[in-house]
Amino acid sequence: MSNVLITVDDLAEAMLSSRPPAVLDVRWQLGRDDGPEQYRQGHLPGAVYVDLDTELAAPAEPARGRHPLPDVADLQAAARRWGVDALAPVVVYDDNGGMSAARAWWLLRWGGVADVKILDGGVGAWRDAGMRLSKGDATPRGGTVVLAAGALPTVDVDEVDGTDSLLLDARAGERFRGEVEPVDPRPGHIPGAVSAPTSDNLIEGRFRPADELRSRFADLGVDDDRDVIVYCGSGVTAAHEIAALEHAGFTATLYPGSYSQWSSDPARDVERG
């Protein structure tokens, strides 16, 4: 289907192959803590639950943001607990259009795992296809993956400040405009950024076709000759935007600290509207 997404049928076939993927359940949403319970009530066979707050991020701190990148040694230890093997494929999913699963997709690729895909439509698509769900906790064997940071690019706050790159803000439009701000210190956005809500990458919980995404991003100013940086509130949904950009044939760089880091520094200007 693409180098980003996998369909239910293709995943079901891969699970029966001689080289089945590690399957990771990354159900998480801002303001909710019931991901583990949802997982235990029904998950893809063999899938292992991944805790975004504790396994896909370092502890929050204002100077680094709400979801700083984890230390690569910690990420490797977690990936081995999940049963991820060296040179083996990985599939990630959630129940929110890939919004949280994309964080695992991006992090594992940043750590050097080449074959990571997002299940398009997530657990809902699996269920709608009549596929079996398992309950309780899976017990994976230990994995052998070896990770090294930096296989995907990142920028820090100083590199974002005054950048000539196209800066896409993946948060909801009302947060970009500063009309609401539920979690971060100051409402608004990074000066010069363009509003590009992650939700617009989806239609009925699935990624839009690549040509539609390419047209969407082109309308926002993305082209093959300009560097693109993506941020959101804490670096989670920005990873989804990067996945959508890659599905559309573009490349982009993550600003991991995102607006939670930027807005915590009173020396950094913010814009509203």
Per residue of the chain (273 residues), what is the pLDDT tens digit?
Answer: 578 999 999 999 999 999 999 999 999 987 677 888 999 999 999 999 999 999 999 999 999 999 999 999 999 999 999 999 999 999 999 999 999 999 999 999 999 999 999 999 999 999 999 999 999 988 888 999 999 999 999 999 999 999 999 999 999 999 999 999 999 999 999 999 999 999 999 999 999 999 999 999 999 999 999 999 999 999 999 999 999 999 999 999 999 999 999 999 999 999 999
**What residues does each domain of the chain span?**
5-128, 157-262
Query: CATH number for the 157-262 domain, one of 3.40.250.10, 3.30.70.270, 1.20.140.10, 3.30.2350.10?
Result: 3.40.250.10
**What are the catalytic residues?**
232
Strand order in the sheet with 166-169: 194-195, 166-169, 228-231, 253-254
The pLDDT score that the predictor gives to residue 30 is: 73
The pLDDT score that the predictor gives to residue 141 is: 86
The pLDDT score that the predictor gives to residue 1 is: 53
At residue 228, the 3 state secondary structure works out as strand
Q: Given this chain, do its domains 5-128 and 157-262 carry the same CATH topology? A: yes
Tokens matching residue 163: 């950048």
β-bridge pairing 48-49 and 5-6: unpaired
* pTM of model > 0.85: yes
Query: CATH number for the 5-128 domain, one of 3.30.420.40, 3.10.20.600, 3.50.50.60, 3.40.250.10?
Result: 3.40.250.10
Contacts 24+ apart (CB under 8 A), 156-164: 156/255, 156/257, 157/255, 157/257, 157/261, 157/262, 157/265, 157/268, 160/190, 160/229, 160/231, 160/255, 160/262, 161/268, 163/192, 163/229, 164/227
Say what angle helices 237-247 and 210-219 make with each other, to 10 degrees.
Answer: 110
The pLDDT score that the predictor gives to residue 241 is: 98
